[in-house]
Chain A
Amino acid sequence: AQSVTQLGSHVSVSEGALVLLRCNYSSSVPPYLFWYVQYPNQGLQLLLKYTSAATLVKGINGFEAEFKKSETSFHLTKPSAHMRDAAEYFCAVSSNTGFQKLVFGTGTRLLVSP
């Protein structure tokens, strides 16, 4: 069974500062890992995904994440935060061995102050 843990329900940064959102996974098989973003009153949008190719994954809106097997982590980063990055971010995991449920973390709300 797969699961993800997102450390910190809220993260606050200033505009222009580094964004770091943490995600640790647990999986008995090689995982697929994802970061989704949800803006207020909207659905979820895929930011980036790891599917066992390159360990450093670049996504949309300047975000990237690094898969570290030794640390079972898939943290999301962005060098410089913008006000428009304020949203809820979900880490998610699924198995690469067939029809498996996508398991979401509990989410981290990113707050960006001017």
Chain B
Amino acid sequence: EVQLVESGGGLVQPGGSLRLSCAASGFIFSDHYMDWVRQAPGKGLEWVGRIRKKVNSYTTEYAASVKGRFSVSRDDSKDSVYLQMNSLKTEDTAVYYCARVGRGFDIWGQGTGVTVSS
């Protein structure tokens, strides 16, 4: 079965850090770009960032709202993508989804919740 499973969410204080993981199965992970998308409570979808594949030198793209604070990485040997979140703000509170990039975002994880609060 093709699936993505996120983990690592939780409660963190403003200014803190958190690392989210997304484990892939059922497809050739290394063949795909991978993205992160978030959704604040009761709000719409916001694209967070992307990591390309090895042939594209694993280059990354970020939304302006997270650039310099968040970092996307991947480990193709573990079929996993990561989102390192530093200097967290209350407005980063959201459900975070990883997604496989095909012709659109064709596979999504179930999401992991991040709450930034003191």
A and B held together in a complex: no
- A-side residues, CB < 8 A to B, are none
